[in-house]
Amino acid sequence: MNQWINEKLLPPILKFVNTKAITALRNGMLYTMPFTIVGSVFLLLANFPVPAVSEWVTNSGLDVYFNEAYGASFAIMSIFAVMGIANSYVKEEGFEGLPAGMISLVVFLLTQHSTATNADTKAMVSNVIDKTWTGGQGMISAILVGLFVGWAYSWFLKRDIRIKLPEQVPANVANSFTALIPAAVITTFSLVVYILFDKVFNTTVVEAIYKVIQTPMQGVTDTFGGAMMLGFLVPFLWFFGVHGSTLVGGIMGPILQANSLQNTTILNSGKELTVANGGHIVTQQFLDQFMTVTGAGMTIGIVMFMVMFAKSAQFKQLGRLALLPAFFNINEPILFATPVVMNPIMAVPFILTPMVSGVVTYFSLYTGLVPLFTAVQVPWTTPPIISGFLVGGWRTAVLQAFVLTLGFFIYLPFVRKVDSLNYLQEQGESVEQIEKDLANEDKTADGNATV
């Protein structure tokens, strides 16, 4: 099995993970994180999960200003994403990436009209950037534009198609002239595409991408099957030592965040945020707070067993060391020291726990027991229960506590078995003797089952 995993399964996975496009997507999306968190804070203040506080904020008029700060940060995350992805792609190729990031912004703006319609008066307003497409609805366009500009800009530089200046010229000036030819060609090409979509298809690139690609992708992720896929893939990849959280988050994160942003748009429109009104169930918070909370596999159950019930000295010590990091969603000590990675005994609960949590959470959101999530996000190190309260109020916090408790009982028989093996080894029993004891236990169990 190990040989098959190392020779057949891991190489294609790692090859895919390390492609320039996936690396640029993963690294580029990291540029959005500060603005996501800052914007989430202001969105949280504008829609605080305590009714008395929320009413005071609304009556005082502060919600208008908090929403302005949200609109200038989180609500334009597609702009940060497109620049970050193009910049990261070009840096992976070994060139200065900032000029590519700026070109990608120009191209991204050329995927949409510079006009918008006033929702109240129906009047057309010109010379604007429509925020409809700078948030979640423009995310797939931002990804595609960032990757395209990164590739095209690198293509020019690798073939030395650029204006060269003497070495005595300052670097910032030289970089500006280096970007001139690629910028001119890429912008001209993008303008031709803009005209084509406008005249022939009577739409824009960003609208076409949203209808043809993004909407179906959001629909797929927002299903029960999509939730189960997320719950399975992260621990499955981690079991083989591949950073599943980063890989799945890098690819699916933009779609999940788009779902969150659309939920906020529904709420801001004055409608009730429900599934019937088009609200999304599977969002970034669904993954962060109910499938990877306390780390991939929701391994806080292992830590609590080690702290309270472990017999082996190894697990007792590991539990004490891993307890504090686990509360801040850091579980690498548990994954590699228990170990969970490549440990067949721990594979079942490691994969099953987030999937069970996903089932419970999905139907709690679907039935309205817990409110759907808005775009409020918290730093990934926010402790459980606190994070649940901040993203959804007290009912979300209670649900989070419930699924973590459920996870403890899923892990219990498996981690107890590993603890018993460790204890026997510490008592001086050989591996051969332990295997015989286990075989006898299995025979006894089979006999009892037959009776």
Task: Give the whole-angstrom CA distance, residue 338 versus residue 316.
Answer: 11
Nearest CA among 287, 304, 295 for reference residue 330: 295
Nearest in space to 146 (alpha carbons), one of 99, 184, 100: 100
pLDDT value, residue 450: 43
Paired tokens of 44: 């949280």
pLDDT of residue 443: 56
Cβ-based neighbours of 383, under 8 Å, separated by 6 or more: 327, 328, 329
DSSP conformation letters of 45-97:
HHT-SSHHHHHHHHHHTHHHHHHHHHHTTGGGHHHHHHHHHHHHHHHHTTS--
Q: Among candidates 306, 289, 285, which has minimal Cα distance to 298?
A: 289
| Cα–Cα distance, 120 to 138 (Å, whole number) | 23
Which amino acid is it at 105?
L
Q: Which residues contact 259 (CB under 8 A, 6 or more apart)?
A: 136, 218, 221, 222, 280, 282, 283, 284
Q: First and final CA of the chain: distance in angstroms?
A: 34
According to DSSP, residue 184 is labeled H
C-alpha to C-alpha distance for 165 and 177, rounded to whole angstroms: 8
What are the residues facing 124 on neighbouring strands?
Answer: 117
Residues in the chain, how many?
451
Query: Along the 451 residues of the chain, how does pLDDT read in single tens digits?
Result: 666 766 776 677 777 777 888 888 888 888 888 888 888 888 888 888 778 888 898 899 998 999 899 889 888 989 999 999 999 999 999 999 999 999 999 999 999 998 887 767 778 888 888 888 898 888 889 999 999 999 999 999 999 898 887 777 777 777 778 889 999 999 999 999 999 999 999 999 999 998 988 888 888 888 899 999 999 989 988 887 777 777 787 778 888 888 888 888 888 888 888 888 889 999 999 999 999 999 899 999 999 999 999 999 989 999 998 888 888 888 888 888 888 888 888 989 999 999 999 999 999 999 999 999 988 888 878 899 999 999 888 999 999 999 999 999 999 999 999 998 888 888 876 555 655 655 565 555 455 544 4
Contacts of 145 (CB under 8 A, 6+ apart): 82, 86, 104, 107, 108, 111
Q: How buried is 435 (Cβ within 10 angstroms: 0-12 exposed, 13-18 middle, 19+ buried)?
A: exposed
What is this structure's pTM?
0.77
**Residue 449 confidence (pLDDT):** 46
Confirm if 412 and 301 have CB atoms less than 8 A apart. Answer: yes
Q: Are 71 and 131 in contact (CB under 8 A)?
A: yes
Q: How far apart are CA 130 and CA 289, in angstroms?
A: 31
| CA 412 vs CA 23, 237, 314, 407: distances in Å | 37, 22, 17, 8
Amino acid identity for residue 19 in this structure? T
Residues 6+ apart with CB under 8 A from 61: none
Residue 383 gets the label, from left (phi > 0), alpha (psi -120 to 50) or beta, of beta
* Alpha helices by DSSP H, 179-312: 180-199, 205-209, 215-221, 224-239, 244-268, 284-290, 300-308
Nearest to 58 by CA among 335, 327, 267, 306: 267
Residues 65-69: contacts with CB under 8 Å, at least 24 apart: 66/42, 67/42, 67/43, 67/268, 69/38, 69/39, 69/42
Q: Residue 126 phi/psi, 5° resolution?
A: -110, 170
